[in-house]
């Protein structure tokens, strides 16, 4: 049996993909109350644990777990954040993940994170993370994958790090990440017959501005005087700023969903209606099944979904891992 433990499990995007690919969960851990309740609503409650990562010990699972997986909290390295990296306390959670590896000694491990991890401090942070996870016992490989290449209607790049325990696989065995699919879904594909659900609304002033933006457009499509007022100091700053006042078109994938549906710098306006995407539309774009239930306030649900690994992306990576491991189990 191919078993897994997921730490930093969030609302369950990665674990859902793993389970769809054939993996059997032993434990799903997170410290966020709403995420834990969401996991309990959709998974076996007996496998869900609310626990602080710094207090968690996985030694009892030694010899029982095939794969240790986790999306180590990534805000410390996000392009949208302050990028404090290892100087941020959340950066030290990589140390806890390395400790979990040592405690339960899985045959394989999988880490997901933002691409900003690879460039933080000119790549020095990433080198340290790889060295920390590799230790003396694992061979490690990694790749940056775009969710749109794997059945997700979203331009969302993430880095995946895979570790293989030395001696657990033939020396000639090399893990290869899944090849991109030919099919590249658009927002139209994702939101076809999407169930109705709650969603936040724009303030009237913002709504008037975004109403002027055509599908596929952004702030550059606004009258110059409106640009200056709406963008403020950003109007004269450097960078493309194409996420501001951005309306997605039906015939393109969404830009990366964030934890808030109406942040000024990373706007994602509905193609036809002048509003943010609803919770269910967020979930569709992240490829959660319509039956998946999210617990908590509206803002919490957006945050959970925005932080999640897209289910279909998780599935394709998980399937590749499952097929790599299966011949060894037989």
Whether residue 262 lies in the annotated active site = no
Going from the C-alpha of 318 to that of each of 33, 63, 99, 325, the distances in angstroms are 26, 20, 23, 10
The CA distance from 155 to 98, in Å, is: 30
Name 324's Cβ contacts closer than 8 Å, sequence gap at least 6.
169, 173, 175
Name 262's Cβ contacts closer than 8 Å, sequence gap at least 6.
200, 202, 206, 276
Going from the C-alpha of 19 to that of each of 142, 240, 249, 315, 318, the distances in angstroms are 22, 39, 32, 8, 8
The CA distance from 23 to 3, in Å, is: 6
Pick the closest to residue 126 from 138, 139, 135, 114 (CA basis).
Answer: 114
> What are the catalytic residues?
74
């Amino acid at each position: 049996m191919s078993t897994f433990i997921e730490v930093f499990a969030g609302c369950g995007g990665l674990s859902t993909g793993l389970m769809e690919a054939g993996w059997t969960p032993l434990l799903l851990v997170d410290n966020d109350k709403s995420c834990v309740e969401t996991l309990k609503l959709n998974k076996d409650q007996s496998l869900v644990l609310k626990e602080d990562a710094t207090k968690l010990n996985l030694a009892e699972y030694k010899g029982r777990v095939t794969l240790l997986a986790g999306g180590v909290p990534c805000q410390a390295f996000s392009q949208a954040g302050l990028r404090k990296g290892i100087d941020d306390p959340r950066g030290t959670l990589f140390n806890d993940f390395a400790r979990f590896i040592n405690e339960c000694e899985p045959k394989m491990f999988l880490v997901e994170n933002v691409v900003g991890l690879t460039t933080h401090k000119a790549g020095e942070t990433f080198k340290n993370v790889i060295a920390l996870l590799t230790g003396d016992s694992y061979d490690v490989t990694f790749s940056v994958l775009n969710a749109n290449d794997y059945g997700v209607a979203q331009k969302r790049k993430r880095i995946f790090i895979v570790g293989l325990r030395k001696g657990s696989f033939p020396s000639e065995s090399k893990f290869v990440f899944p090849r991109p699919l030919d099919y590249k879904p658009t927002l139209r594909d994702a939101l076809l017959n999407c169930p109705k659900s709650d969603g936040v609304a724009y303030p009237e002033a913002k709504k008037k501005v975004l109403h002027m933006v055509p599908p596929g457009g952004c702030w550059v499509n606004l009258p110059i005087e409106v640009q200056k007022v709406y963008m403020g100091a950003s109007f004269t700053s450097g960078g493309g700023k194409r996420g501001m006042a951005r309306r997605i078109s039906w015939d393109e994938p969404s830009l990366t969903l964030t934890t808030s549906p109406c942040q000024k710098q990373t706007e994602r306006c509905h193609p036809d209606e002048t509003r943010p995407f609803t919770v269910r539309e967020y979930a569709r774009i992240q490829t959660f099944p319509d039956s998946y239930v999210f617990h908590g306030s509206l803002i919490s649900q957006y945050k959970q979904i925005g932080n999640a690994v897209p289910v279909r992306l998780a599935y394709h990576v998980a399937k590749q891992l499952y097929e790599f491991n299966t011949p060894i189990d037989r």
